[in-house]
Amino acid sequence: MVTALVHGRVLRAGALRDGEAVLLDGERIAAIVPLAEVPADAARHDLQGAMLLPGFIDTQVNGGGGVLFNDSTSVEGIAAIGAAHRRFGTTGFLPTLISDDLEVIRHAVAAVDAAITEGVPGVLGIHIEGPFLNVERRGIHRADKIRELDEEGLAILTSLKRGRTLVTLAPERTTPATIRRLTDAGVIVAAGHSNATYEQSIAAVEAGTTGITHLFNAMSPLTSRAPGLTGASLERPELICGIIVDGHHVSPTTLKIALRCKPPEQLMLVTDAMPSVGSDSDEFLLQGRHIRVLDGVCRDVDGTIAGSHLDMATALANTMRLLGAPIEAAACMAAHAPAAFLGLADSLGQIAPGYRADLVALDDAFHVTGTWIGGAGIEA
């Protein structure tokens, strides 16, 4: 049976539109029609004036619902993380593993492969953030987990059978030839946790690097005579940069400058979320370290930021409130940009006929009132 989502404001073709209904047929959007043309036999779902946006896609999700992916590399753990973030409009995500032993990475890849096979809602692949990083820019990553990228590591990074594999690495800790081996194998490579020079960064781009992990955080900065990885990130249109818009990781002024350098299509909202998101607990363990959420920020006992307590609906609202971006731009950064980054822009990230019915409804306070993943809806 066709389902008609009615009485909402539909974001499509760059604007919120009244008086239209979105028709869902199975997993896909069948059509977008005037309300008067909704088929008489369609099942109607009243959005009650909510905004209907493309479902959010988060490429950096360490945990949620009290679960940390590093500690629960299982189908059940992935499902729990996805369920927690779905409450905040995330309809597609990459469970993200921070630097760990190769055996843990191997288990994580197998778990994601199994989760996709079993149809866990929203799982699009895996993000392996390290351990092939620069220890000087490790942030919360444990120094004893960081290592060189060798043949065994390459074999694991290229082993996922289903979905997308995103790898964050420091370009200066490997070679352009190795990056090319990864990209030739279908792996999406992002630069991050890096002290790369501008020249090393450009060499990585020319070898196939297309992403930047949490722009401005844990990377060589832009200075007067040394642009570094940050300068390359802002200059090169091939690079889609993840940004954490929580008001803590990066100054809103700095992010406004990024928005003047790059269009919304080249910036994607990420949460870098930890287990506290979607959980009643304000503390958790991260590889043996006690992390507490204080004033909305996850920190260890030394004050180092450890991921975030951010969800995608809040990231969207912050992008409008703190950066002054219109809803159309913020939604692009939350859906279309990450879909394009993952090579999925022909099926995700827009409300259009033929696209998968991954959608989120939000009220004017940006509270999620419903989500649909592959046409299956859940009311908040």
Q: Where are the domains of the chain?
A: 3-53+353-379, 56-341
% of the chain exceeding 90 in pLDDT: 98
CATH (residue range 3-53+353-379):
2.30.40.10
- 164 a known binding residue? no
380 has a pLDDT exceeding 90: no
- 217 a known binding residue? yes
pLDDT at residue 96, as a whole number: 98
CA distances 83 to 95, 367, 376, Å, are 12, 16, 13
Residues with a catalytic annotation lie at 272
Span 355-377, mean pLDDT? 97
Tokens for 150, please give them: 């060798």
pLDDT at residue 29, as a whole number: 98
**Residues 160/102, Cβ–Cβ less than 8 Å:** no
- 379 a known binding residue? no
| CA distance linking residue 20 with residue 169, whole number of Å | 44
1 has a pLDDT exceeding 90: no
Instruction: Give the CATH architecture of domain 56-341.
Output: Alpha-Beta Barrel (3.20)
- 309 a known binding residue? no
| DSSP-derived 3-state class of residue 37 | helix
Give tens-digit pLDDT for 133-184. 999 999 999 999 999 999 999 999 999 999 999 999 999 999 999 999 999 9
Give tens-digit pLDDT for 369-379. 999 999 999 98
Give tens-digit pLDDT for 203-260. 999 999 999 999 999 999 999 999 999 999 999 999 999 999 999 999 999 999 999 9
Least Cα distance to 348 among 183, 125, 133 occurs for 125
Least Cα distance to 25 among 353, 251, 380 occurs for 353
Helix 102-117 / helix 75-86 crossing angle, nearest 10 deg: 70
Where are the strands (E) in 99-228, listed by range? 125-129, 164-169, 188-191, 211-212
Confidence class for position 294, pLDDT limits 50, 70, 90? very high
CA distances 3 to 8, 10, 90, Å, are 14, 15, 21
pLDDT at residue 226, as a whole number: 98
pLDDT at residue 36, as a whole number: 95
CA distances 199 to 202, 205, 233, 270, 376, Å, are 5, 10, 12, 27, 47
pLDDT at residue 379, as a whole number: 82
| CA distance linking residue 149 with residue 205, whole number of Å | 18
Least Cα distance to 370 among 1, 49, 29, 28 occurs for 49
Helix 228-235 / helix 252-261 crossing angle, nearest 10 deg: 50
pLDDT at residue 298, as a whole number: 97
CA distances 295 to 55, 252, 298, Å, are 28, 17, 9
Instruction: For strands 15-17 and 20-25, give the pairing.
Output: unpaired
